[in-house]
Structure 1
């Protein structure tokens, strides 16, 4: 699931975390993707400072929850390293769907997205017109500058391949509940995940399988799916399984 962080300087960024990550693991991800050392971080959610040994379930942290990130003064100044001509230099990590490894690239904050995509092509061999880049859940437009999207040093991006012309529908497997039989479904890669909910309701009327009465959401590779984002954005592939997860949440202590 994605969680939004806000620093004391008013900067926002989004990081994907696990459902049962500890607070310490979350801080480690903030350090990995944003460069803020763990010892300088203090995380506050709903007015409460989070203890390192507690997890997201304990604090009822959910998809799109907003966490305040308080930083020591030496880490919160937001300064970026500069190149010889005074331009801000940043390092970004790009995750690709075809490889487990990340591409690490250097760029100027004033560079356009198109220029960054050319560097990605140089390292991966993928033509720029065959992929799009996402940062913080937002698709980056080629003509915009990295600074327009608040791409900072050690930011993380996702590379998502564009479908080829005439691409067939995605054939997926839907798992209504643990231990149940999977149900084959077809979707368009460009469809938002919300379209799957409509298909689930249609199939439920035909097959009469169990659905959680309190509501549900979709899980893909152990992460909650954002229904206003496409299957392509989630990098869903043919033959993948999507689970229906019970939406009820325990009351906070």
Structure 2
């Protein structure tokens, strides 16, 4: 992002706002710059997490895992299915009380080391009223 005050770009981190003539009630214009993902995206890293199944699945199992944060929720499902931890079925994964999207990465969902993901049998349906 780029900050501009009175036509001057605020690009020197060590200068105080008062040196630019900025005071209370001053207006600063913010421009959001586009980024190139390949160049600006942080490298993938491993995260340790725990998958907690509901009581209707595997008697409420707790499964410690380590995955790359660039992996998607679908990758996580496939890993659990391939290790025969989950039977073949439809599942919802929940992180921080939010349903996780299959096609989005763990990083996109904000999964950090030590986080717990909850898995429930079922699907999400969007119905109109």
Unaligned runs of 5+ in 2: 8-27
Task: Give the number of the structure whose residues are more often helix, by fraction.
Answer: 1
Matches within 5 A, 1:6-155: 107-108=29-30, 111-113=31-33, 141-142=34-35
Q: Residues of 2 paired with 1:249 and 1:187: CA distance?
A: 25
Say if 1:199 and 1:249 are closer, same or farther in 2 by CA, change over 3 A.
closer
* Partner secondary structure for residue 119 of structure 2: strand
TM-score under structure 1 length normalisation: 0.32
Q: Work out whether 1:228 is the aligned partner of 2:103.
A: yes
Q: What is the 5 A alignment of 1:184-195? A: 184-195=64-75
Q: What is the CA RMSD across the aligned residues, in angstroms? A: 3.3
**TM-score, L = length of structure 2:** 0.57
CA distance in 1, matches of 2:47, 2:124: 31
Unaligned runs of 5+ in 1: 1-82, 86-105, 114-140, 144-160
Over 2 Å off, 4+ runs: 161-164
Q: C-alpha separation between the residues in 2 aligned to 1:224 and 1:249?
A: 9
Query: Is 2:48 the counterpart of 1:177?
Result: no
Question: Higher RCO, 1 or 2 (CA under 8 Å, sep at least 6)?
Answer: 2
User: Which protein is bigger by CA-based radius of gyration?
Assistant: 2
